[in-house]
Structure 1
Amino acid sequence: MDPNTIPEIVNNVSSYNIASTQTNTLLTVVLGLFVAWVAFQQYKLSRAKFKLDLFEKRYVVYKATQKLLTHVLQKGDVDLDELFEFRGKTQDAIFLFDKKIPEYLNDIDGKVLKLNTLRDQLEGIPKSDIRSELCGNMKQLLLSITKELPKLKVVFGKYMNFKEWK
């Protein structure tokens, strides 16, 4: 072997090692960026899934309220079974909304329970001033409950809006 070729071979091997190191570094950076991008996409997906799950739970509360109000407005009355079903489906509202919604639901619950109580009091009372007063109270309560159904979308709207999910 020619002694002049040895430095040339060493020089070529050295150049190869530098190029290999640079390539490995570049691949590591590219792989790291890809992993970071995938992690960010996973974060966005998890966040969207959380919002969807929260929406679904809130929607159950909204629909239960809508169902109760619609029933009361159609029948002018409510059974305790329907009220208990409403309570069962809305009991988690305290964890899903700020305090405004649970207070609103308690207000509706109170009105509907009072309506049920007035109906029970009317049974068996003959025509009299007391019956007329109870009927008047029941009418006022029904008018008050009637105003709640159109307000429902406004009250729940800020919690059910998909536009804020971006």
Structure 2
Amino acid sequence: MASANLPNWVNFTQAVGPTFVAIVAAGIASLIQYNQWKTAKSKLAIDLFDRRFVVYEATRKLVSALLQQTKMHDDEHRDFINKTWHARFLFDQELCKYIENFRIIAINLNLYHETYEQRMNDPARGQVIKEHYGRLNYVMAESQKLEERFLPYLDLSNVK
């Protein structure tokens, strides 16, 4: 009724206006959703980094303790286990074996220290000492590579 008296451009705007507003609103909603997705992706990367860094730090502390004391105390062992038990969910199998290898070496070094006094007259004592220093040399060599091994998992440069 009243639209018959209005100019054509007003009739056109009334007809197309709601569609245009809906398209603009959908575009804005899509932009907001995209930004939320990017934020969630970055947060996931940062959360993953935090969890992985805890494992790296625990491994680094264990290696440091082994090099300083040539053994691991019970509380250090518990701390290491508590902070690395979930490594299999965060790293590939190769790095998990690498981390586990340090734990096994630490246990072997502890056993060496516990039985050292008992082996004073043991003819195989020389071989045991050689194995002990072989393990320590391995730990020392790997301590130089530790950061390099973890770096691909701790690199945040590709997170945008």
- TM-score normalised to the size of structure 1? 0.86
Which of residues 111, 114, 126 is equivalent to 1:117? Answer: 111
Q: Distance in 2 between matches of 1:68 and 1:33?
A: 53
Matched, 1:158 2:138: no
Q: Which amino acid aligns with 1:87?
A: I
Taking the TM superposition and a 5 Å limit, the aligned residue runs for 1:23-42 are 23-42=17-36
Q: What is the root-mean-square deviation in Å for CA atoms of aligned residues?
A: 2.1
Q: Distance in 2 between matches of 1:136 and 1:15?
A: 95
Contact 2:45 2:156 in 1 (8 A): no
The structure, 1 or 2, with the larger RCO (C-alpha pairs under 8 Å, 6+ apart) is 2
Matched, 1:148 2:145: no
Q: Distance in 2 between matches of 1:137 and 1:9?
A: 97
Which of residues 64, 79, 95 is equivalent to 2:73? Answer: 79
Q: How much does 1:154 deviate?
A: 1.2
Which of residues 83, 87, 93 is equivalent to 1:93? Answer: 87
Q: How much does 1:77 deviate?
A: 1.9
Q: Which moved more, 1:58-67 or 1:13-22?
A: 13-22
Q: Which moved more, 1:29-38 or 1:13-22?
A: 13-22
Q: Distance in 1 between matches of 2:92 and 2:140?
A: 24
**Which residues of structure 1 form unaligned runs of 5+?**
1-6
Q: Distance in 1 between matches of 2:129 and 2:84?
A: 29
Counterpart of 1:66? 60
Q: Which amino acid aligns with 2:54?
A: V
Q: Distance in 1 between matches of 2:141 and 2:63?
A: 10
Matched, 1:131 2:151: no
- TM-score normalised to the size of structure 2? 0.89
Identity %: 26
**Which residues of structure 2 form unaligned runs of 5+?**
none
Q: How much does 1:138 deviate?
A: 1.2
Q: How much does 1:113 deviate?
A: 0.9
Q: Which amino acid aligns with 1:96?
A: L
Q: Distance in 2 between matches of 1:15 and 1:78?
A: 84
Q: Which amino acid aligns with 1:94?
A: R
Q: 1:162 aligns to what SS in structure 2?
A: coil
Counterpart of 1:103? 97
Q: How much does 1:15 deviate?
A: 5.2
Q: Which amino acid aligns with 2:47?
A: D
Which structure is larger by alpha-carbon Rg, 1 or 2? 1
